[in-house]
Amino acid sequence: MREVFPTAASPTRQIFAFRCLRGSNGPSPRGPACACGYLTVLARFSDLMARRASGVLLRGGFTLLTPSTKPSTGKPFSPSPFRGATAMPEPKLAPKQWDPEFERELLRAWEGEPGLYAYAPDRGPTYVIDTPPPYPSGDWHPGAVVAYSLIDMIARSQRMLGKAVVFPFGLDQNGINIERTVEKKYGKPLHEWDRETFIAKCREEISGIGLGIIEIAKRMGMTADFAHTYRTDSDEYRA
């Protein structure tokens, strides 16, 4: 904890010292005991301020910290420039243990088996997961990733129970949100666009965002059937 004493002998300063001496919450605000204790604090406060440079431990668990003669090196886990403060220990592991190439190798191996999580009726009783397809109007946020992780947990558990899981992955590519995304990106309201040009821009934008969502879903280890990804604006889906 650093020094937080105000510069003037204000009520804030007095209350801080009072809580240091009497406990974090102080005594009851009623009765002569409170008044007596408060006067005791005021009487001793000047003495405490005089001794604060020595790093005295007050009876509330607070330590007054003073700068040491040796400045900090500015490096991680360097000694603290304050006496009485706890310095961070040296790390037991090397700073860099993870190589992103490990992840890429796993993804390449996974993509080499496109039918790994496809529906296989001969595996056992069919278990269908009708996922609500994510809407690609922007980057996938952590909340959506968490929600689909829970769905993936169900798919994995049902496979372990010997069931043939139908776990599709789709993209809900339609709606007003993507229209607003295009308007905001190009700074041009809907009524100023040619209809066909605007629709083409919406399709282009939503397709790019959708590919980003699929990539995130794969990188998070989701066991959906990505070999048969559907899109709600496709002719195949609408047929």
Q: What is the percentage of the chain residues whose pLDDT exceeds 90? A: 31
Q: Is the pLDDT of residue 23 over 70?
A: no
Count the Cβ atoms, other than its own, within 10 Å of residue 56. 13
Residue for token pair 């997961």: 129
Q: Both 24 and 134 in a single domain?
A: no
The CATH number of the domain holding residue 133 is: 3.40.50.620
Is 147 among the domain residues? yes
Task: Specify the DSSP element, H or E, that contains 206.
Answer: helix 195-219
Q: Is the pLDDT of residue 178 over 60?
A: yes
Identify the bridge partners of residue 225 per DSSP, sorted by sequence position: 168
| Interval 67-84: pLDDT, tens | 444 545 555 545 555 555
Is 105 among the domain residues? no
Q: Both 174 and 63 in a single domain?
A: no
- Of 1-15, 29-43, 68-82, which range is least confident? 1-15
Q: What is the C-alpha to C-alpha distance for residues 214 and 209, in angstroms, rounded to an integer?
A: 9
pLDDT score of 21: 43
Angle, to 10 degrees, between the axis of helix 195-219 and the axis of helix 176-186? 100
| Interval 185-212: pLDDT, tens | 999 998 899 999 999 999 999 999 999 9
pLDDT score of 52: 55
Residue 169 banded pLDDT, cuts 50, 70, 90: very high
- Of 89-98, 107-116, 170-179, which range is least confident? 89-98
Q: Both 120 and 205 in a single domain?
A: yes
Angle at 103 between CA 142 and CA 208, to 5 degrees: 55
Q: What is the C-alpha to C-alpha distance for residues 27 and 40, in angstroms, rounded to an integer?
A: 13
Q: Of 46, 71, 87, which residue is a domain's last? A: 87
Q: What is the percentage of the chain residues whose pLDDT exceeds 70? A: 60
Q: Both 229 and 120 in a single domain?
A: yes
pLDDT score of 60: 47
Q: Both 209 and 146 in a single domain?
A: yes
Q: Of 50, 69, 87, which residue is a domain's last? A: 87
Q: Both 81 and 136 in a single domain?
A: no
For the chain, what is the mean pLDDT?
73
Instruction: Give yes or no for a contact between 28 and 34, defined as CB atoms under 8 angstroms apart.
Output: yes
Averaged pLDDT for residues 126-149: 89
pLDDT score of 91: 67
Q: Both 118 and 214 in a single domain?
A: yes
Q: Is the pLDDT of residue 114 over 50?
A: yes
Whole-model pTM: value is 0.57
State both tokens at 164: 């043939």
Q: Both 183 and 76 in a single domain?
A: no
Give how many domains the chain has, as a whole number.
2
Residue 50 banded pLDDT, cuts 50, 70, 90: low
Q: Both 68 and 127 in a single domain?
A: no
Q: How distant, in Å, are the alpha carbons of 3, 24, 144 from that of 15?
A: 15, 10, 47
Q: Both 120 and 230 in a single domain?
A: yes
Give me the amino acid identity at 218.
K
Q: Which domain holds residue 165?
A: 114-238
Q: Both 125 and 80 in a single domain?
A: no
- Number of DSSP helices (H) and strands (E) in the chain, helices first: 7, 4
Q: What is the C-alpha to C-alpha distance for residues 194 and 142, in angstroms, rounded to an integer?
A: 36
pLDDT score of 177: 86
pLDDT score of 100: 80
pLDDT score of 22: 46
Identify the bridge partners of residue 231 per DSSP, sorted by sequence position: 171
